[in-house]
Structure 1
Amino acid sequence: MNFASDNTVGASAPVLQAIVEANAGAMAAYGNDEITRRVRARFAEIFERDVDVFFATTGTAANALALSSAVPPYGLCICHREAHVIDDECGAPEFFMHGAKLTGLPGVGAKLKADDVAAYVKSLPRAVKQMPPKALSISQVSEGGLVYDLDELAALGAVCREHGLAFHMDGARFANALVALGCTPAEMTWKRGVDILSFGATKNGGLMAEAIVVFRTDLAEALDYRSKRAGQIISKARLIAAQFEGYFADDHWLANARHANRMAKALSEGLARLPGVRLAWPTQANEVFPIIPHALDRALKAAGILYNPWTELSLPEGEHVGEGEVLVRLVASWATREEDVHRLLEIASSGVSRHAAE
């Protein structure tokens, strides 16, 4: 049973079928095809306004290109200190920003607070020796599995407007956050001040389906050229765009995300009922972060269950991982089966019972 990531499962049937259908015959290359035009129009419908859309094959490429459009080489991009853009992308954003810098701030559950961002910006000296802040990047869902609510997004958007920062959202798990909030894509993005979005589909049923959705026209001006230089203008672009047709059809993307979130909730509630287990942060989307005894960790691993240890940097005040404990992350996906969740909980319960009897 693999709960290591939502990247470990394949693509969903509607996405694969859309690729098969798009594969027939010949079409114009490099995004000049009818499928790509339809998908761009669909993005505009979903976000309730005109948007510029650029496709990418990976989330790293989408994030790096998005930030490169917003931050000049002498600029600074603010993010959480555990954000994917600063911690998991091998310096790609800084590379594509041609030397601009990412700086990470602390925050519980890998979330940033508007007041903390504002205070940091105000603390920076206004001198040529200091790189000026040009953008804010947040992860929605955060690296602690938490979801920014609409008020939090609006507050961050207001800070960006006040200080002239472009507001970027890393939406690798965009759909999971969206269904958790029960809002519209527009309400979770540009209506709260987001300027540019890395829209992820790969974790939620796509094969390699990422998009940069731009709400501020000036940020889109050079993205065609930046995408070309990054090798992200694909000759058979229709096969990238087609994934989104299958993804969006009949709200398949939302159904996938709801299922993943529901599986994570069931897993979270079951683990939290076990003696000696507690959650580092609430389960708000499709990731679960329990603090478990080493004995339970050994029992789960002995049963062949895959998951990952996690960092303790963003624990709430007063919480800590004690001696004999470990903080881990388990991720549910659109393909997670209920029987696998139940089986994991059975193994966990048995492991806890054996440990108590020893």
Structure 2
Amino acid sequence: MNFASDNVYGIHPKILAAIEAANQGTSPSYGYDDYSKRAEAKLSEVFEKEVRAYLVTTGTAANGLALSALAPPYGAVFTHNEAHTAIDECNSPEMFTGGAKVIGLEGAEGKITPAVVEKALKGFLRGEHDPKPAALSITNSTELGRVYQSAEIKALSEVVKSRKMKFHIDGARFANAVAALGVKPAEITWKAGIDVMSFGGTKNGGMLLEAVVFFDTGLAEDFLYRRMRGGQLISKSRFLGAQMLAYLENDLWLDNARIANGLAQYLAKGLRQSNSVRIPLPVEANEIFAVMPRALHDKLQAAGAHFHQWGVDILGPGGIAEDEVFCRFVLSFATPREDADRFIGLLKQG
């Protein structure tokens, strides 16, 4: 019963088969292979717009490299204070940008609002004594499992564009957001004002599968050099391209996300049936955040259930009692439904 992360599960069989197929024969290296070229074309098809897409191996690299194309060393990148770009990437964005300052903003349930961004920007009054506001980065779905609607992104874009800043989205779980909303990918990216995104696949069936996707293709100038300098130009690049093609083929990426989201709803229903557990945040994608008695937490863990205890400050004062634990559950396309049933059975036993 492993609900610790969607990273704990393996590669989707179709993607694994694609890697095996690409292993036959020879192929040009360093991104000049046919697989990578077709993957970029397929991403343009998915987003209904000609994009420039660069395959990389990790979400950390995707975020850092993407932001390096948007923010100069003297710039400021605004993001949520719980975002991976702020606290989970060991200053990678600062390194890749050459020193840009990442500024975390407050926001309920992992979301940033236009009012919060405007308030932060009002504090930049000292000209060159302040870092130059360069970019805003949001995560969709957020680190707390919430999903940004198109209108919310457009409203943020209006603030960003009025200050001549750029707009980035961390899409490590972008597939889950698209599946949850039931919209075309374009509606919550470039049509809503996003300039560049980190398009994730590793959490949703890939092995090493991330891409930096430029909707504003002018921003991709010199990105080949950024990727190379960042150690993310893979010599046997066909294996990244083959993964991406399989991931996007016949909407496998969305099918996987729908399964994971559906399992999250199923497990959340079981959690709600327990009088000892409460779910303080809406379950929209493939993550569940729940509060339970510490005694129950310990019993479930002892019975073989794996899930993480999470930071409690996001619930605010009085959000959790001394004898309670705030927990995160993450569901994958590969999570056995039987594991969810077994866990729900343990809950019923108290």
Partner of 2:285: 285
Give, in angstroms, the shift of residue 165 of structure 1: 1.4
Where 2:119 maps in the other structure, the secondary structure is helix
Is structure 2 residue 32 aligned with structure 1 residue 32? Answer: yes
Partner of 1:151: 151
Letter in 1 for 2:335: T
Partner of 1:347: 346
Where 1:301 maps in the other structure, the secondary structure is helix
Where 1:82 maps in the other structure, the secondary structure is coil
Is residue 263–residue 338 contact of structure 1 (8 Å, CA) maintained in 2?
A: yes
Give, in angstroms, the shift of residue 310 of structure 1: 0.8
Give, in angstroms, the shift of residue 188 of structure 1: 1.0
**Structure 1: distance between partners of 2:223 and 2:318:** 43
Is residue 106–residue 314 contact of structure 1 (8 Å, CA) maintained in 2?
A: no
Give, in angstroms, the shift of residue 126 of structure 1: 3.7
Q: Deviations over 1:298-351 (max 9, x none)?
A: 111111111111112322x67601121110001000101111111111112212
Give, in angstroms, the shift of residue 115 of structure 1: 1.4
Partner of 2:312: 312
**Structure 2: distance between partners of 1:182 and 1:188:** 11
Partner of 1:356: none
Letter in 1 for 2:329: L
Give, in angstroms, the shift of residue 146 of structure 1: 0.5
Q: Deviations over 1:202-258 (max 9, x none)?
A: 000000000000011231012100000011111110101100111111211111000
**Structure 2: distance between partners of 1:83 and 1:28:** 37
Partner of 1:119: 119
Partner of 2:326: 327
Superposition TM-score, scaled by structure 2 size = 0.98
Where 2:131 maps in the other structure, the secondary structure is coil
Q: Deviations over 1:93-120 (max 9, x none)?
A: 1011111110101111111111111221
* Structure 1 residues 340 and 230, CA gap change in structure 2 (3 angstroms): same
Partner of 1:3: 3
Partner of 2:275: 275
Where 2:31 maps in the other structure, the secondary structure is coil
**Structure 2: distance between partners of 1:236 and 1:122:** 47
* Residue pairs, 1:42-61, within 5 angstroms: 42-61=42-61
Q: Deviations over 1:176-219 (max 9, x none)?
A: 00010100110110000000000000000000000000011231
Where 2:250 maps in the other structure, the secondary structure is helix
Partner of 1:205: 205
**Structure 2: distance between partners of 1:80 and 1:314:** 12
Where 1:142 maps in the other structure, the secondary structure is coil
Is structure 2 residue 120 aligned with structure 1 residue 108? Answer: no
Structure 1 residue runs of 5 or longer lacking an equivalent are 352-358
Partner of 1:355: none
* Structure 1 residues 319 and 151, CA gap change in structure 2 (3 angstroms): farther
Is residue 107–residue 314 contact of structure 1 (8 Å, CA) maintained in 2?
A: no
**Structure 2: distance between partners of 1:282 and 1:106:** 19
**Range 269-278 or range 67-76, more displaced:** 269-278
**Structure 2: distance between partners of 1:156 and 1:44:** 24
Partner of 1:354: none
Letter in 2 for 1:267: L
Q: What is the percentage of aligned positions where both structures have the same residue?
A: 46
* Residue pairs, 1:79-228, within 5 angstroms: 79-228=79-228
**Structure 2: distance between partners of 1:335 and 1:275:** 28
Where 2:103 maps in the other structure, the secondary structure is strand
Letter in 2 for 1:146: R
**Structure 2: distance between partners of 1:244 and 1:84:** 23
Q: How many residues align?
A: 350
Q: Deviations over 1:242-292 (max 9, x none)?
A: 001111112111110000000001111110221121112111000000011
**Structure 2: distance between partners of 1:67 and 1:272:** 39
**Structure 2: distance between partners of 1:164 and 1:108:** 26
**Structure 2: distance between partners of 1:288 and 1:272:** 11
Structure 2 residue runs of 5 or longer lacking an equivalent are none
Letter in 2 for 1:73: P
Where 2:159 maps in the other structure, the secondary structure is helix
**Structure 1: distance between partners of 2:203 and 2:55:** 16
**Structure 1: distance between partners of 2:330 and 2:206:** 17
Where 1:233 maps in the other structure, the secondary structure is coil
Where 1:37 maps in the other structure, the secondary structure is helix
